[in-house]
Amino acid sequence: MQNGLPGADLIEAGLIDLREGRETVAALLVAIGAPRLRRLGCDLPDSLPKNPEHRLYNLLAEDDSDSAHSRYNAYLRRLVSYERAAECVRP
């Protein structure tokens, strides 16, 4: 985990939620980014939620369906921002 990187707080929360079996926005976001996050050295659980993209969108839509699409895209941008920054500081 690279603290201080953009979105690190969200990624850390997602890793904790996945390990504890909670299906949260952060957990689903980490599940979406799992392949790239694993390559970056993140220790993810072996078992991840199926179809995390759809599940994340549905979870956001439950809260406010009118803004679900824009919030979904904003979360994906935060994930990608973290991944790109982590690749830049990777030894």
* Number of other residues whose CB lies within 10 A of the CB of residue 31: 23
Domain ranges of the chain: 8-89
Q: Is the pTM of this model over 0.75?
A: yes
Query: Is the pLDDT score of 1 beyond 60?
Result: no
> 78 near 71, Cβ under 8 Å?
no
Q: Cα separation of 55 and 40, whole Å?
A: 24
- What is the crossing angle of helices 52-63 and 68-89, to 10°? 130
Residues 10-61: tens digit of each pLDDT: 999 999 999 999 999 999 999 999 999 999 999 999 999 999 999 999 999 9
pLDDT of residue 36: 96
Q: What 8-state DSSP symbol labels residue 37?
A: H
Residue 2's pLDDT band (cuts 50, 70, 90): low
